[in-house]
Amino acid sequence: MDLDEIFNQLKDIDEYEKYAGIGLSPQKIAKIYKIHEPKFMAEFDTPGSKLSFHHERGRLLYEALDMKSMLECAIAGNTTQGQRLDKYRKERDLELIRRRIFYGEE
């Protein structure tokens, strides 16, 4: 099964990104679409893969939407959302520091 066949089975890339955005693994998404998992994962793990790109894009997109919603609620005076947003920012900053120290990422 090549990339074109996989994308034909996915049909709607937005739906694929939504599944990624709610936290489903590539393996589970392959099962949903009835795609042979080893072949799907081989394509997913290929450097520069469109599958991994869209999976990561879906995760980032829905994380950003969640953060935007949290920010709007915090601005409106919801202290719980403000606390959640602050916690998220601290965790993100810590992760960036870890990546910089261990992997030399900027």
User: pLDDT tens digits for 33-77?
Assistant: 888 899 899 999 999 998 999 999 999 999 999 999 999 999 999
Asked if residue 30 is part of any domain, the answer here is yes
Bigger pLDDT: 10 vs 32:
32
Number of domains in the chain: 1
Asked if residue 22 is part of any domain, the answer here is yes
d(CA 65, CA 19): 15
Q: How large a percentage of the chain has pLDDT more than 90? A: 68
Asked if residue 91 is part of any domain, the answer here is no
> Cβ distance 49 to 42 under 8 Å?
no
- Which candidate, 78, 21, 20, places its Cα nearest to that of 30? 20
d(CA 85, CA 69): 10
Asked if residue 103 is part of any domain, the answer here is no
Residue 11 has pLDDT above 90, yes or no: no
Residue 41 sits in which domain range? 3-76
Treating both helix axes as pointing N-terminal to C-terminal, what angle do 50-75 and 37-44 enclose, rounded to 10 degrees?
80
Asked if residue 86 is part of any domain, the answer here is no
> How many Cα atoms occupy the beta-carbon half-sphere of 77 within 13 Å?
0
